[in-house]
């Protein structure tokens, strides 16, 4: 049987092994509308079953030497490297990813596995000073069962960046992927971990609706929730988790700004702006949603950006088109509505603004004002609103006026001057002389304000904070005597 043979998992989910559930769900290619697979579709009872299995398997897993956990992650990384073509194909067909985006995402997932292998062997505590003659130290211990809820846009990486480190640190994981991408965002990763030799029960994938996500958040044996998705959904999850006194790490939306200073290489700046706004049809939390361009270079920048937008083609990515479809009709209608209302409010359409089926053409809007819908709201589509500014202080105020604080970029001929400007921006991520979309397994990822709360994703310190608890421990050679 070939790796990830569809006969193995058709109409199934993964509960420590390939399992038939009472329900099934059809997976559709958003570019063609064709049915490409059928998967198991769970309910809260299936979720509860997965948590029971996870809790039963977790203690033995946490007790194993860290090298054992690292070895599983290394094997998973090698398996991902061997099967990146399989994952990339599913990302194209299921998530509507362009082939370049799919290849990048598949490679980044492998990096996450290798980083998790290293994480398992990193220092996990501190020696502490004490007023007594004893050994005093803090150590990080696994939380138990981690619940992961992941979205459709980068389904493989936004699942694996929680799954792999949580497992490496001795936890079990129950995943509820977005039902539109439950293969590339869940079942494929189950097959990888199964091939890597992860013990049974430690990882489950339950495709399902909002009721399954709610059951995962509410389950008393799941003390930590890792959620990536919309700010609106994150607020609900954060509120529910807070009432239950459990931790929720929320990576949410963004309306990310790129400031273009007057001394830039204009062609390079327009290239960066086009990539930041149009990659994966703009369906990325880090997408460059606001272009703030100095008046001295505004007109030339807009002309070049519109030229690049017009040259890009949105079509079936399986045929090599650089941009694919919007994920579904509901999201497309939201994008079209934001653009239409912005034009009606006085903005000028310089490119795009049209669609055929789910293929929305890259769009450039100019004469944009701060109150316009496409500038003030997260679009999650291939739209680049451009606002002219005269004064740097004005630009910084406009960036900080947003409720979001995920990623910000500054393009300038003076890189260190731009870095100084960055100190005045409220943003979890800052890129100088690059656009807003980037991710690396070893880098802390996350935002401020409405863009997220909780630990960052990525890097040793962030993952320890996210998926372990701190325990203070003391040891002394004899029992302490007291006056009682």
By annotation, the residues acting in catalysis are 251, 285
Instruction: Give the length of the chain.
Output: 484
Within 13 A of 14's CA, how many CA atoms are on the CB side?
A: 28
Return the C-alpha torsion angle 394, 396, 398, 403, nearest 10: -160
Q: Which residues contact 190 (CB under 8 A, 6 or more apart)?
A: 14, 203, 204, 205
Q: Which residues contact residue 68 at a Cβ distance below 8 angstroms, ignoring those fewer than 6 apart?
A: none
């Amino acid at each position: 049987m070939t790796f990830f043979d569809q006969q193995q998992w058709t109409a199934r989910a993964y509960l420590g092994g390939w399992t038939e559930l009472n329900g099934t769900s059809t997976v559709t290619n958003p570019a063609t509308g064709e049915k490409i697979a059928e998967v198991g579709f769970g309910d809260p009872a299936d979720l509860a079953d997965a948590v029971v299995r996870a809790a039963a398997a977790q203690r033995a897993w946490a007790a194993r030497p860290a090298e054992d956990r690292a070895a599983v992650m290394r094997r998973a990384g090698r398996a991902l490297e061997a099967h990146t073509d399989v994952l990339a194909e599913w990302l194209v067909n299921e998530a509507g990813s362009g082939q370049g985006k799919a290849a990048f995402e598949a490679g980044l997932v492998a990096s996450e596995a290798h980083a998790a292998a290293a994480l398992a062997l990193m220092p996990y505590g501190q020696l502490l000073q004490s007023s007594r003659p004893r050994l005093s130290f803090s150590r990080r211990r696994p939380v138990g069962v981690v619940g992961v809820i992941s979205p459709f846009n980068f389904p493989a990486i936004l699942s694996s960046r929680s799954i792999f480190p949580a497992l490496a640190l001795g936890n079990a994981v129950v995943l509820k992927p977005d039902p539109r991408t439950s293969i590339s965002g869940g079942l494929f990763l189950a097959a990888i971990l199964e091939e890597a030799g992860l013990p049974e029960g430690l990882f489950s994938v339950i495709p399902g609706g909002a009721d399954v996500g709610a059951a995962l958040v509410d389950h008393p044996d799941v003390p930590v929730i890792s959620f990536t998705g919309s700010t609106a959904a994150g607020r609900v999850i954060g509120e529910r988790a807070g009432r239950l006194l459990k931790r929720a790490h929320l990576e949410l939306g963004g309306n990310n700004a790129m400031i273009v200073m007057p001394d830039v290489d204009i062609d390079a700046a327009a290239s960066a702006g086009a990539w930041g706004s149009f990659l994966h049809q703009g369906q990325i939390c880090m997408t460059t949603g606001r272009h703030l361009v100095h008046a001295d270079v505004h007109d030339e920048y807009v002309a070049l950006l519109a030229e690049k937008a017009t040259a890009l083609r949105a079509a079936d990515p399986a045929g090599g088109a650089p941009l694919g479809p919007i994920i579904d009709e509901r999201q497309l209608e939201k994008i079209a509505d934001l653009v239409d209302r912005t034009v009606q409010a006085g903005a000028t359409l310089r490119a795009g603004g049209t669609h055929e089926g789910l293929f929305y053409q890259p769009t450039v809007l100019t004469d944009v004002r701060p109150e316009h819908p496409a500038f003030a709201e997260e679009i999650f589509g291939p739209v680049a609103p451009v606002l002219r500014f005269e004064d740097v202080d004005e630009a910084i105020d406009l960036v900080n006026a947003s409720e979001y604080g995920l990623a910000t970029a500054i393009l300038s001929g003076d890189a260190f001057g731009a870095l100084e400007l960055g100190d005045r921006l409220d943003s979890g991520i800052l890129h100088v002389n690059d656009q807003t979309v980037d991710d690396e397994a070893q880098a802390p990822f996350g935002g401020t304000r409405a863009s997220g709360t909780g630990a960052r994703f990525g890097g040793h310190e962030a993952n320890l904070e996210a998926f372990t608890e701190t325990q203070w421990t003391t040891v002394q050679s004899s029992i302490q005597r007291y006056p009682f």
